[in-house]
Structure formats: C-alpha cells, structure tokens
Amino acid sequence: MQISSRFTIAVHVLICIETFKEEHKITSDFLASSVNANSVIIRKLLQQLKKAGIVAVIRGSGGADICKSLDAITLFDVYEAVECVEDGKLFHFHENPNPLCPVGRNIHSILDARLEQIQMALEKEMKSVTIQDIVNDSQKMIAEEKV
C-alpha cells in the first residue's frame, strides 16, 4: 500500500507556510483551502508537526509557523512526525504464522534484518532532502510557471 497522503500534505503545508507567511496569517483554514482538505485534518497534522518540534501553532488568535531552520528539517523528520506506524516498521507481516512450521515460526528472524536494511535505504534518502531544498524547488516551479 501507498504511504499515506498525510506525508505529502505535511510537506505541502510546510511549503505554504514558508511561501505565504508574509502575506497571510497561516490559519488551518487557509492551509486547508490550498490542500483542499478539511481544516480539522490540517489541525491534527499541525499537532503532529508541533510534537516533532517542526512548527509552532498559536492558539486563540491563530497562526502557524515553522520553528526550525528549513535546512535542519529533512523529509524524514516530516515523515516520522506524521506517519504513525507502530514501531516505525515499513513492512507488515501476517499475524500468527504457524508455529508448527519451521518457516512459519522463524519468518520474522529470517526477514527482519533484510527488511530493515531496505527501510534504512529509504530513510537515508529521505534524510538527504531538506525542506529548504523543497522550498527552493517550489519557488523555481512557481517562477517557471509565469514564463
């Protein structure tokens, strides 16, 4: 299955905050309108980013902003903040394999190391891209659009 859109939405939200922070107050409604999702979805997501120390959200008067240097936030930080898979395991196993079968009762010990290595490759690549990179990409795309 695909990695939840929460991840791409979170990146979208961070780009928006950075892009529009001067022009607009960054409310959950404003972000929800760009993403075209419900504002409660955005607020929950902002809570997850807040717990991860990526954004600050002002209660009451409203407004969110990024509270870290953009090049100190990697895609992996965002992924980790919003993807709430138990133990952070990418691969799902079928429950209760047959303990009477030598393969069934060992399937985890057989596969875990290899799968972890694969997951590490994914995470390493995610760590190599920062939100600063993405914001640069974004500015370039938006500029090109106007040509």
Partner DNA sequence: CTTGTTGTAATAATATTTGTTACAACTATA
Partner DNA sequence: TATAGTTGTAACAAATATTATTACAACAAG
For binding to DNA (CB under 7 A), which residues are involved? 1, 4-6, 25-29, 37-41, 43-44, 46-47, 50, 57-64, 85, 92, 94
2 binds its own copies (CB under 8 A): yes
85, 84, 79, 65: which is closest to 22 by C-alpha? Answer: 65
Least gap, CB of 111 to its own copies (angstroms): 6
Residue 138's contacts (CB-CB under 8 Å, 6 or more residues apart) are 15, 19
Contact with its own copies (CB under 8 A) among 21, 37, 68, 132? 37
Give the C-alpha separation, 21 to 39, whole Å.
18
Whole-number Å distance between alpha carbons of 147 and 132? 23
Q: Measured from the CB atom, is 62 or 104 closer to its own copies?
A: 104
Report what 61 binds from DNA, its own copies, none; CB cut-off 5-8 Å by kind.
DNA
